[in-house]
């Protein structure tokens, strides 16, 4: 039977949809730490886990490599991109600068609807924190995935609500891109069983209350304290992982 243009388009859309869904699933598992930094992506296992063929998997991995989440090597195949202390400082130095500017401008320009938006986002944030804190020390992958998805979504929505009245689409574009890369680093400090515990509720409450009170100096100070603590915990975590890897190699 002769294929029509419609048939070809349907197949193209179907394959693209599968690729996008697989990309989203892999991105989530990388962000919440189910797929660990440096872990090799074994094509057969991943294809079986997600019920896909090799073609959409290859395309999804190429997309994730373009975002810096996957390393592709002609000999070794695909691995989850490693986390480096240098990249942590690079990302969070830029967040410290750009988030601070966006927050200051939003406080200066935000109206009563902006105040309502950040209050709504804060409610979502506290619910996500409650869900994450209820996981316990040995959650299943599915529970971690669900809580991690809720956390990353609520966390960004809270920061986006704080910054959205900055008046600069370009500034928000850069901030969004940085936060997308920071997500998986951030998760190490709030959900990794081996990571230091932190009171992220109190950190974000300080930012929220200062912004709601239109205290620019206090809000930016609280934001930078939050980002600075994240950097310190991440740097320590990465150094510990590197030391453990060296010890394994030595053994």
Pick the closest to residue 230 from 173, 191, 190 (CA basis).
Answer: 190
Looking at the fold, whether 38 and 100 belong to one and the same domain comes out as: no
Looking at the fold, whether 197 and 239 belong to one and the same domain comes out as: yes
- From 57, 80, 103, the end of a domain falls on 80
- Least trusted range by pLDDT, from 40-54, 57-71, 192-206: 192-206
The total of structural domains in the chain comes to 2
Rounded to the nearest 5°, which phi and psi values hold at 77? 85, -145
Looking at the fold, whether 124 and 193 belong to one and the same domain comes out as: yes
Q: What is the pLDDT of residues 1-53, one digit of tens each?
A: 343 333 333 333 345 588 888 888 888 888 777 788 888 988 888 888 878 88
What is the average pLDDT score of the chain? 83
> Residue 19: how many CB atoms within 10 A of its CB?
20
Q: Which residues pair with 40 in a beta bridge?
A: 79
CATH of the domain at 118: 1.20.120.530
Q: What is the pLDDT of residue 153?
A: 87
| Domain of 232, in residue numbers | 85-248
Looking at the fold, whether 62 and 35 belong to one and the same domain comes out as: yes
- Least trusted range by pLDDT, from 49-63, 184-198, 217-231: 184-198
> Residue 32: how many CB atoms within 10 A of its CB?
22
- From 35, 51, 80, the end of a domain falls on 80
Q: Which residues pair with 123 in a beta bridge?
A: none
Looking at the fold, whether 132 and 204 belong to one and the same domain comes out as: yes
Looking at the fold, whether 205 and 159 belong to one and the same domain comes out as: yes
Q: Following DSSP, what letter does each residue of the chain receive, concatenated? A: -PPPHHHHHHHHHHHHHHHHHHHHHHHHHHHTTSSPTT-EE-HHHHHHHHT--HHHHHHHHHHHHHTTSEEEETTTEEEEPPP-HHHHHHHHHHHHHHHHHHHHHHHHH--HHHHHHHHHHHHHHHHHHHHHHTT-SS--HHHHHHHHHHHHHHHHHHHHHHHTTSS-HHHHHHHHHHHHHHHHHHHHTTT-TTSPP--HHHHHHHHHHHHHTT-HHHHHHHHHHHHHHHHHHHHHHHHHHHHHHHHHHH-
Looking at the fold, whether 45 and 96 belong to one and the same domain comes out as: no
CATH of the domain at 52: 1.10.10.10
> Residue 116: how many CB atoms within 10 A of its CB?
11
pLDDT of 194 above 60: no
Looking at the fold, whether 92 and 15 belong to one and the same domain comes out as: no
Q: What is the pLDDT of residue 210?
A: 98
Q: Is 54 within 8 Å of 47 (Cβ atoms)?
A: yes
Q: What is the pLDDT of residue 242?
A: 74
Q: What is the pLDDT of residue 190?
A: 58
pTM for the whole structure: 0.74
């Amino acid at each position: 039977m002769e294929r029509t243009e419609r048939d070809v388009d349907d197949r193209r859309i179907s394959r693209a949809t599968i690729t996008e869904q697989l990309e989203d699933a892999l991105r989530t598992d990388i962000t919440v730490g189910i797929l660990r930094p440096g872990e090799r992506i074994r094509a057969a296992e991943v294809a079986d886990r997600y019920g896909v063929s090799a073609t959409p998997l290859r395309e999804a991995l190429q997309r994730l490599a373009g975002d810096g989440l996957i390393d592709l090597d002609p000999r070794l195949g695909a691995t989850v991109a490693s986390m480096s202390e240098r990249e942590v400082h690079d990302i969070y130095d830029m967040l410290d600068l750009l988030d601070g500017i966006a927050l200051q401008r939003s406080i200066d320009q935000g109206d009563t609807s902006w105040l309502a938006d950040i209050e709504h986002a804060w409610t979502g944030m506290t619910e996500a924190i409650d869900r994450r804190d209820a996981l316990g020390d040995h959650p299943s992958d599915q529970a971690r995935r669900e809580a991690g998805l809720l956390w990353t979504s609520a966390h960004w929505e809270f920061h986006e609500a704080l910054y959205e009245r900055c008046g600069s689409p370009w500034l928000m574009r850069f901030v969004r891109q940085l936060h997308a890369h920071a997500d998986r680093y951030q998760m190490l400090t709030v959900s990794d069983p081996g990571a230091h515990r932190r009171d992220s509720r109190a950190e974000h409450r300080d930012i929220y209350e200062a912004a709601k009170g239109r205290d620019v100096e206090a809000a930016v100070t609280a934001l930078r304290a939050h980002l600075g603590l994240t950097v310190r915990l991440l740097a320590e975590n990465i150094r510990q992982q590197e030391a453990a890897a060296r010890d394994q190699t030595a053994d």
